[in-house]
Amino acid sequence: MSESWVLHVDLDQFIAAVEVLRRPELAGKAVIVGGRGDPTERAVVSTASYEARAYGVGSGMPLRIAARKVPDAVILPVDHEAYLEASEKVMAVLRAQPGAIVQVLGWDEAFVGVGTDDPDAYAKQMQHDILEETRLHCSVGIGDTLVRAKVATTFGKPAGIFRLTAENWLEVMGNRPTIELWGVGTKVSRRLAALGIKTVAELAASNPDDLVPEFGPRMGPWYAQLGRGDGSRVVDDTPWVARGHSRETTFQRDLTEPGQIDDAVRELAAHVLKDVAAEGRPVVGLTLKVRYAPFITKTYARKIPETSDPEEVLARALDLRGKIEPDRPIRLLGLRAEMAMPEDSRQGHTPTRSGW
């Protein structure tokens, strides 16, 4: 009987690669994608080609700073529809692989569960088929858990294959900082360091009970498990169901007048309510995201009585607007509506990059 494996497929510099396919003359050049493609406007980098990354450009960087770092870069506007179309073609290729169970994580990545005696050969065939059908390159991480497969991909980039299992996990990851683990960000790594846990090996050797006072009864043991690379081995292809929908706007000029802020909240609510209406599920919570000038971000959240009434949701959103600090210029506003979840929906993965 074939052994079960988890493969993590990650498309290399996906958005930039899609743009280069549309404009072959950009191959080998520094390409930056963000906002409307205008570095004089307020926007951030969505992605950058490897050539641009060599100059220190990364996702989330203000576009004007990226342009300053790479004066010769080609800066392009974001085209969501083009990326979604390319992503769907890739996912179709993955689903056509023999015996594949595909769990989509985003435009540019997915887990593939498969039973095979030769996962490396299987991975190479996937890479070949994706390149043949879409002209896009990908890296593949092979693991015996979802965590190990996901982490393995980082060692395979670009366009390579790497395997991480229980046998070589600590050999490869042990001396690395905890921030290199999937699911550990800057804040968590700092909190772990304050407990004397700085490396993956130290986290793997930690007593889960010792992490409970800092992280709670659920997350404490989970971080200890993460340090060992353990966890689920099951790839779940159950259709993903969104917890909520969000929209946000970066203003080219700071909002300073109460009337401007009210209008902006109303416009965001209209877009979010349209997205929510398409789901057919009631709203149960709202979060207002506010970025004050120069760059201080705060969020204000509130659970609300379950409702499908747009006027009620708008009224609650305007209530949250009252939490905005007066006399502080605003450069960005965002609104997120949380929806009631179907009992049988799969949770825990974000399929796009639009949530916050």
Q: How does residue 108 score in pLDDT terms, banded at 50, 70 and 90?
A: very high
Looking at every residue in the chain, the average pLDDT score rounds to 93
Please check the confidence at residue 346 and state whether its pLDDT lies above 60.
no
CATH (domain of 49)? 3.40.1170.60
Q: Which residues lie across from 256 on neighbouring strands?
A: none
* Domain match, 323 and 214 both: no
CATH (domain of 284)? 3.30.1490.100
CATH (domain of 95)? 3.30.70.270
Q: Is position 239 within any domain?
A: no
* Domain match, 253 and 335 both: yes
Q: Which of 51, 109, 202, 338 is catalytic?
A: 109
Q: How does residue 259 score in pLDDT terms, banded at 50, 70 and 90?
A: very high
Q: How far is CA 85 from CA 80, 108, 137, 354, in A?
A: 9, 11, 16, 16
Last residue of a domain, one of 135, 164, 193: 164
Q: Is position 352 within any domain?
A: no
Last residue of a domain, one of 114, 135, 164: 164
Domain ranges, residue 220: 176-226
Q: Is position 353 within any domain?
A: no
Q: What is the token pair recorded at 237? A: 């292809």
Please check the confidence at residue 351 and state whether its pLDDT lies above 70.
no
* Domain match, 214 and 310 both: no
Sequence-separated contacts (24+) of 319-326 with Cβ below 8 Å: 320/286, 320/287, 320/288, 321/261, 321/262, 321/265, 321/288, 323/288, 324/261, 324/288, 324/290, 324/300, 325/292
Please check the confidence at residue 356 and state whether its pLDDT lies above 70.
no
Sheet holding 296-307, edge to edge: 244-255, 330-339, 283-292, 296-307
Q: How does residue 117 score in pLDDT terms, banded at 50, 70 and 90?
A: very high
Q: Which residues lie across from 249 on neighbouring strands?
A: 333
Cβ atoms of 9 and 144 within 8 Å: the answer is no
Q: Could you confirm whether 109 is annotated as catalytic? A: yes
* Domain match, 8 and 136 both: yes
Cα–Cα distance for residue pair 20/66, rounded to 1 Å: 19
Beta strand pairing status for 109-115 and 101-106?
antiparallel
Q: How does residue 343 score in pLDDT terms, banded at 50, 70 and 90?
A: low
* Domain match, 152 and 278 both: no
* Domain match, 88 and 159 both: yes
Q: Is position 349 within any domain?
A: no
67-104 pLDDT, tens digit each:
999 999 999 999 999 999 999 999 999 999 999 999 99
- The identity of residue 149, as a single letter, is A
Q: How does residue 348 score in pLDDT terms, banded at 50, 70 and 90?
A: very low
149-180 pLDDT, tens digit each:
999 999 999 999 999 999 999 999 999 999 99
Please give the share of the chain, as a percent, with pLDDT higher than 90: 90
Q: Quote the pLDDT of residue 218.
A: 94
Q: Is position 185 within any domain?
A: yes
* Domain match, 249 and 329 both: yes
Q: How far is CA 19 from CA 34, 80, 127, 174, 258, in A?
A: 12, 11, 20, 38, 40
Which ranges of 135-207 does DSSP label H, i.e. alpha helix? 146-156, 169-173, 186-194, 200-204
194-248 pLDDT, tens digit each:
999 999 999 999 999 999 999 999 999 999 999 999 999 999 998 878 889 999 9
Mean pLDDT (whole number) for 316-344: 91
Please check the confidence at residue 350 and state whether its pLDDT lies above 90.
no
* Domain match, 219 and 318 both: no
Cβ atoms of 257 and 330 within 8 Å: the answer is no
Cα–Cα distance for residue pair 155/178, rounded to 1 Å: 16
Q: How far is CA 110 from CA 100, 176, 240, in A?
A: 11, 25, 12
Q: What is the token pair recorded at 117? A: 């005696």
* Domain match, 293 and 202 both: no
Query: Looking at the 3D structure of the chain, how many domains does it have?
Result: 4
Please give the DSSP secondary-structure letter assigned to residue 346. Answer: B
Please check the confidence at residue 139 and state whether its pLDDT lies above 70.
yes
Q: Is position 347 within any domain?
A: no
* Domain match, 8 and 107 both: yes
Distance, C-alpha 306 to centroid of its chain: 28
Of 253, 250, 265, whose CA–CA distance to 324 is shortest?
Answer: 265
Please check the confidence at residue 352 and state whether its pLDDT lies above 50.
no
Cα–Cα distance for residue pair 355/107, rounded to 1 Å: 13
Please check the confidence at residue 279 and state whether its pLDDT lies above 60.
yes
* Domain match, 251 and 305 both: yes
Last residue of a domain, one of 40, 60, 79: 79
CATH (domain of 201)? 1.10.150.20
Q: Quote the pLDDT of residue 353.
A: 36
17-65 pLDDT, tens digit each:
999 999 999 999 999 999 999 999 989 999 999 999 999 999 989 999 9
* Domain match, 294 and 188 both: no
Q: Is position 345 within any domain?
A: no
Give the global pTM.
Answer: 0.80
Mean pLDDT (whole number) for 107-119: 97
